[in-house]
């Protein structure tokens, strides 16, 4: 008899075919006898009792109820286990201590279950009444040992360097049959990738080479039909970095790689980068083409009073002594004298004369600034153009009054004269020195001149 003949008849819901299938599969089902099993496959644990439940029912008067259990293994003849008529059981004496049945209950108890008990169990029910009705079912039984808790071994235990080293995780299980291994990283299954590979059994995960992304909580999940167990979490040691080197300060204004600090203030710099093991940091100061290593460690304090120059270049260097890689970032500290009041206050404490001089100087400078502001207010637009250039260019422009960018200045120049506060006409490209707001009409005049010239160049490139 083919195994297909024992398909679960209850999975068919189309009524028309149902009876036909019963006719084919469960002899006599339509004429009143129905034998059913809740599950056609039952997984048992070795050494324990296994219960094979069977239900049957019929609608005809019956004199005798006969139940027979048979056992078959692939490529062998079915073996008789036991049988019953009404309430009397006749076992095969060879197996009488192992199989139990309590008729009219057709369910079979196997105790204790052994590996040799693995196979198909066939139950046949015969009803003797007005004729004989017969029906049978088949249950497949598997026998397994439960999985014991797996242990993950990491090779090399001391860790591996990113992009250089490989790592092998091996899942070791003491007990259990029909084991299926699965690797989990942070609770999710690990898949085969260009760097991840598995052994044929999946009990070994090989990562070659390791990367920072491989850092995580790994565990091994081992399953079989009767149990599943997960190992403790293991975190492989992967050396990487430094990455994302950054310098920050507690105060001071940061514009790109330039920090501006008010005179007299101390500023604390903090250098950080992502790395394992943690980086060692060193700070380098650059003055007049010479460099000095001034400090080791992640923090650097610069007291602006002690800095001889107003502009000083620094380098923070991060070094990972295991990966052997390093990174460095350059930055500039500019000491500004924005706080003139602060200067004045300092002067006061020194001598009254100095403070008077300071205040007088401040007033004179303010007056001069006011005058300049009035004189050069129309040229703000040129300054805006300079400011809109890329950072490096801007810095250059600021240092050399904008006349270094000779290529930008190439073109046909028009002489544009317009009146200002003093009534004296001036060249548009003279040194801008004002941040003030000027008249809209003058703005548009200058803007047009500058826009006009590159357009002409494009029209006639030769």
Ligand X SMILES: *[C@@H]1O[C@H](CO)[C@@H](O)[C@H](O)[C@H]1NC(C)=O
Q: State the residues that interact with ligand X by CB under 6 A.
A: 55, 63-64, 85-86, 105, 107, 130, 165-166, 180, 186, 191, 198, 201-202, 208, 216-217, 233, 280, 288-289, 321-322
Rounded Cα–Cα distance for residues 202 and 192 (Å): 11
DSSP tag of 413: -
- In angstroms, give the least distance from the CB of 30 to ligand X: 13
Minimum gap (Å) between residue 143 Cβ and ligand X: 20
Nearer to ligand X by Cβ, of 190 and 382: the residue is 190
Judged by beta carbon, residue 216 or residue 264, the one nearer ligand X is 216
Q: Which is nearer to ligand X, 127 or 141 (CB)?
A: 127
Please count the helices (runs of H) and the strands (runs of E) in the chain.
7, 29
Instruction: Give the list of residues 6+ apart from residue 283 with CB closer than 8 angstroms, or none.
Output: 269, 271, 293, 294, 295, 296, 300, 314, 315, 316, 317
What b/e sequence results for 190-215 when a residue is b if at least 16 CB atoms lie within 10 Å of its CB, and e otherwise?
Answer: beeeeeeebeeebbbbebeebeeebb
For residue 337, give both structure tokens: 């004298």
CA angle 363, 366, 370 (to 5 degrees): 140
Q: Which H or E run includes 277?
A: none
Question: What is the C-alpha separation between 163 and 161, in angstroms, rounded?
Answer: 6
Which CB sits closer to ligand X, 63 or 440?
63
Q: Which CB atom, from 78 or from 165, has the smaller least distance to ligand X?
A: 165
CA dihedral sign of residues 350, 352, 357, 361: positive
Contact between 33 and 57 under an 8 Å Cβ cutoff? The reply is yes
Question: What CA–CA distance (Å, rounded) separates 30 from 53?
Answer: 22
CB of 322 to ligand X, least distance (A): 5
**Residue 212 CB, nearest approach to ligand X (Å):** 13
Read off the DSSP letter of residue 306: G
Query: Rounded CA gap, 57 and 31, in Å?
Result: 11
Question: Least Å distance between CB 318 and ligand X?
Answer: 12
Closest by Cα among 132, 140, 24, 145 to 85: 132
CB nearer ligand X, residue 251 or residue 296: 296
Q: Which residues contact 173 (CB under 8 A, 6 or more apart)?
A: 147, 148, 149, 150, 151, 179, 203, 222, 229
Between 282 and 377, CB nearer to ligand X: 282
CB of residue 390 to ligand X, shortest distance in Å: 25
Mapped onto helix, strand or coil, the DSSP state of residue 212 is helix
Residue partners of 276: CB distance under 8 A and separation at least 6: 237, 238, 239, 240, 241, 320
Beta carbon of residue 188, minimum distance to ligand X (angstroms, whole number): 10
* Minimal distance, residue 144 CB to ligand X, in Å: 16
In the numeric block, the tokens 């286990």 are attached to 81
CB 67 within 8 A of CB 14: no
Nearer to ligand X, 137 or 377 (CB): 137
Q: Phi/psi class of residue 123: alpha, beta or left (left: φ > 0; alpha: ψ in -120 to 50)? A: beta
| Minimum CB distance to ligand X, residue 21 (Å) | 23
Shortest reach from residue 328's CB to ligand X, in Å: 17
Q: Which is nearer to ligand X, 207 or 267 (CB)?
A: 207
For ligand X, which is the closer residue by CB, 55 or 374?
A: 55
Minimum Å gap between C-beta 75 and ligand X is 25
Cβ nearer to ligand X, comparing 341 with 404 = 404
């Amino acid at each position: 008899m083919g195994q297909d003949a024992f398909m679960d008849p209850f999975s068919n819901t189309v009524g028309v075919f149902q009876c036909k299938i019963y006719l084919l599969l469960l002899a006599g089902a339509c004429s009143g006898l129905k034998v059913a099993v809740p599950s056609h496959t039952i997984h048992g644990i070795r050494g324990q009792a296994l219960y094979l439940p069977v239900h049957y029912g019929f609608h005809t008067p019956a004199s005798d109820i006969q139940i027979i259990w048979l056992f078959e293994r692939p490529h062998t003849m079915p073996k008789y286990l036991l049988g019953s008529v009404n309430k009397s059981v006749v076992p095969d004496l060879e197996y009488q201590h192992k199989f139990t049945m309590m008729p009219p209950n057709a369910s079979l108890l196997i105790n204790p279950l052994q590996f040799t008990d693995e196979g198909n169990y066939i139950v046949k029910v015969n009803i003797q009444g007005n004729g004989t009705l017969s029906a049978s079912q088949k249950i497949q039984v598997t026998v397994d040992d439960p999985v014991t808790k797996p242990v993950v071994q990491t090779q090399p235990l001391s860790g591996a360097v990113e992009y250089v080293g490989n790592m092998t995780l091996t899942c070791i299980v003491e007990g259990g049959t029909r084991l299926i291994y699965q690797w989990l990283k942070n609770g999710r299954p690990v898949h085969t990738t260009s760097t991840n590979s598995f052994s044929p059994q999946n009990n070994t995960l090989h990562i070659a080479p390791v990367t920072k992304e491989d850092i995580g909580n790994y565990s091994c999940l081992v399953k079989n039909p009767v149990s599943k167990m997960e190992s403790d979490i293991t975190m492989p040691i992967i050396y990487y970095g430094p990455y994302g080197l950054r310098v920050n300060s507690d105060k001071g204004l940061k514009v790109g790689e330039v920090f501006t600090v008010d005179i007299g203030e101390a500023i604390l710099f903090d250098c950080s980068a992502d790395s394992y093991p943690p980086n060692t940091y060193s700070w380098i100061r650059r003055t007049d083409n010479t460099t000095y290593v001034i400090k080791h460690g992640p923090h650097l304090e610069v007291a602006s009073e002690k800095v001889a120059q107003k502009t000083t270049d620094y380098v923070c260097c991060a070094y990972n002594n295991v990966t052997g890689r390093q990174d460095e970032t350059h930055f500039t500290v500019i000491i500004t004298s924005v706080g003139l009041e602060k200067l004045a206050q300092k002067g006061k404490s020194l001598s009254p004369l100095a403070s008077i001089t300071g205040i007088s100087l401040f007033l004179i400078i303010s007056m001069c600034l006011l005058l300049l502001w009035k004189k050069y207010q129309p040229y703000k637009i040129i300054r805006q153009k300079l400011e809109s250039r890329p950072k490096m260019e801007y810095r250059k422009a600021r240092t050399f009054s904008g006349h270094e960018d000779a290529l930008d200045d190439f073109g046909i120049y028009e002489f544009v004269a317009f009146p200002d506060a003093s009534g004296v006409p001036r060249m548009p490209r003279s040194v801008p020195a004002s941040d003030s707001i000027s008249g809209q009409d003058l703005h548009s005049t200058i803007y047009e001149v500058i826009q006009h010239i590159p357009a002409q160049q494009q029209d006639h490139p030769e």
